[in-house]
Amino acid sequence: MFTKPRLGLLFSVLSLFVLLSACTFLEMFQPMPGRPLLTPTPISRVRVQVHANMLGDVTAPITVEEYVDFQCPACGDFARDTLQDIKEKYVKTGQVKLVLHHYAFIGEESTRAAEASECANEQGKFWEYADVLFHNQAGENQGAFADAKLEGFAEELRLNMDEFKACLADRRHLSKIQASIEEGAARGINSVPTLFINGQMVRGALSLEKFEEYLTPHLK
């Protein structure tokens, strides 16, 4: 049976132990001299890395998804015209983020162009490469997107050509392209370009005015 004096001594020892343990615990989280304190990667950066073919602020309230085939003339018209206005007016201001999905169905050159864009994506040049593709359309399955041309576009963008050629030759991203097509079909895609504005399907190469009619209800 503990007497009061012994209980007091025990409590004093326990208090000292807790104090020393707390100090040791805090020291574990102090930066060592000459070494910075480690911090977790911001979630926004993680999301940007996951959705590498996304353009804009990851926290933008409106998501505009587009399904495209790089050989599709209507996709090219939309990319060269309305999409540039959307980027300037809504993406750069943080209201919209763009996500491009592949729906390569016109032919083998569509698939190779999509694969090449993902090889460029490995070097942080997805959107630049996509713009080059849309500006170099020249008929469907007529050689405009033959491998030699795709490599030439990569050279124009000053990509590492050894890495790009290896990626293209290995067909490293073919499964991603195929998965995107399957996903699009499951969402009801039967033509391109097709947009989803916060999940609402909109078909066709819209003018900016028509696009804004669909966009307005989603703006705060």
| Structural contact between residues 95 and 119, judged by C-beta atoms closer than 8 angstroms | no
Is residue 36 pLDDT above 80, yes or no? no
Residue 54 inside a domain? The answer is yes
Residue 29 inside a domain? The answer is no
Residue 24 inside a domain? The answer is no
Domain that holds residue 137: 45-218
Q: Percent of the chain, pLDDT > 70?
A: 76
Residue 18 inside a domain? The answer is no
* pLDDT score of 125: 96
Residue 11 inside a domain? The answer is no
Residue 1 inside a domain? The answer is no
Is residue 56 pLDDT above 70, yes or no? yes
Is residue 172 pLDDT above 80, yes or no? yes
**What's the mean pLDDT when you consider all of the chain?**
82
Residue 8 inside a domain? The answer is no
Per-residue b or e along 186-204, where b marks 16 or more CB atoms closer than 10 Å to that residue's CB: eeebeebbbbbbeeeebee
205: domain CATH number is 3.40.30.10
Q: How confident is the model at residue 66 (pLDDT cuts 50, 70, 90)?
A: very high
- 198-216 pLDDT tens trace: 999 999 999 999 999 999 9
Do strands 96-102 and 62-68 pair parallel, antiparallel, or not at all (unpaired)? parallel
- Cα separation, 209 vs 216, whole angstroms: 10
CA dihedral 15, 19, 25, 26 (to 10 degrees): 150
Domain count, the chain: 1
Q: How confident is the model at residue 52 (pLDDT cuts 50, 70, 90)?
A: low
- Judged on CB neighbours under 10 Å (0-12, 13-18, 19+), 15 is exposed
Q: What is the pTM of this model?
A: 0.76
